[in-house]
Amino acid sequence: MMNSTSASPAEPTISVSGDGTDARRNSKRPKYSRFTQQELPACKPILTPQWVISIFTLVGIIFVPIGVAALLASNDVVEIVDRYETECIPKNISDKIGYIQNPAISKKCTRVLKVPKDMDKPVYVYYQLDNFYQNHRRYVKSRNDQQLRDKSKANETSGCDPEKTTANGMPIVPCGLIAWSLFNDTYNFTHSNGETLTVNKKDISWKSDRNHKFGSDVFPKNFQNGTLKGGKTLDPTVPLSKQEDLIVWMRTAALPTFRKLYGRIEVDLKENDTITVELENNYNTYSFGGKKKLVLSTTSWLGGKNDFLGIAYISIGGVCFFLATLFTIVYLVKPRKLGDPSYLSWNSNRLMQ
């Protein structure tokens, strides 16, 4: 623009003589390089029939075996699911919420489970909650990670609303709705042969959580002191890093139906064994119509029992095989020569005329 006057002294002799500017002109010529001329070596893939067919076939070849393997793995998993929140309440009680909230009443309940197939150890014990929105925004945010990790940050309760401090303003450790609503049903298993099946509750949480997120010198304080108890009370002498139920619970679930690990039974269970479960039905899911289930499950290399992946993989593999055949037929029956100019719009237009 006009304000380029500042650049002017650099070009004193442009007009008078045509010569002498050649060097300068040459410097203006764009330097040739394959990059600037956009001529870098390149791979230019085109979808030839061979490529298309082989891609589909390849996907099929990979997917079907994976699907079969996943399905087999899922079938190997033995799972016992027992819904108990309806059974473990006296039939004559109409005010279920009042019943469950009354600490004076014993909530003991006995369930008998039959083992359908051999279950190799370890047998994982889960509780499953339905219709419990642990992923609700109000809930997910109601915690303070600093407080959990660091002893000195005990007063740090921001974000813990509406369960932040006690009535007299003392900070609650661990604060927040998540901790407050800690699941408090307990299970005790007895084998049909009279043996007590010990549930190993150690290492049920993530190691990283135990070591870094929950401090080993942070102890529960003022927890569940209020009139309204949300769930389990914590032993104030045990540091948070050892409160594995809490740690598991505080890794909030992604979906409204979720399982949480309760413990492991490190004994092989045989087919047709019966297991008696002595449980305490303390946790209030009646206020929102949530289901409670007790789950005993083995695992496979793919995790728990879930046919979805297997079926999905097999069907996609199948579809790909189908498409591969379809395109093979198409290319055999009605091949289009690649780069055939007669398909060009201006050529075909002319043909139409």
Q: Tell me if 349 contacts other proteins by CB under 8 A.
A: yes
Residue 277's SS3 state is strand
Is residue 178 exposed (0-12), middle (13-18) or buried (19+ Cβ within 10 Å)?
A: buried
Task: Write down the least CB distance from residue 293 to other proteins, Å.
Answer: 9
In the chain, the amino acid numbered 132 is: F
Span 49-68, contacts to other proteins by CB under 8 A: 52, 55, 59, 63, 66
Residues 79-98 that bind other proteins (CB under 8 A): 97
* Identified binder of other proteins from the candidate list 316, 318, 321, 328, rule CB under 8 A: 316
How many angstroms separate the CA atoms of 185 and 284, rounded? 9
Considering only residues 15 to 34 of the shown chain, the ones binding other proteins according to CB under 8 A are: 15-16, 18, 21, 24-25, 28-32
Near other proteins in 103-132, by CB under 8 A? 126, 128, 132
d(CA 192, CA 271) in angstroms, rounded, equals: 12
As a whole number of angstroms, the distance between CA 25 and CA 336 comes to 51
Exactly one of 47, 104, 333, 351 binds other proteins (CB under 8 A); that residue is: 47
Question: What are the strands, taking DSSP E only, across 72-208?
Answer: 79-83, 108-114, 123-129, 186-191, 196-197, 199-200
Residue of the chain from 57, 186, 188, 252 that contacts other proteins (CB under 8 A): 252
Tokens 């075996």, located at residue? 65
Give the amino acid at 223. Answer: F
> Pick from 104, 167, 332, 351: which binds other proteins (CB under 8 A)?
167
Restricting to residues 185-224, name those near other proteins by CB under 8 A: 206, 208-209, 212-213
134 belongs to the binding site for other proteins (CB under 8 A): yes
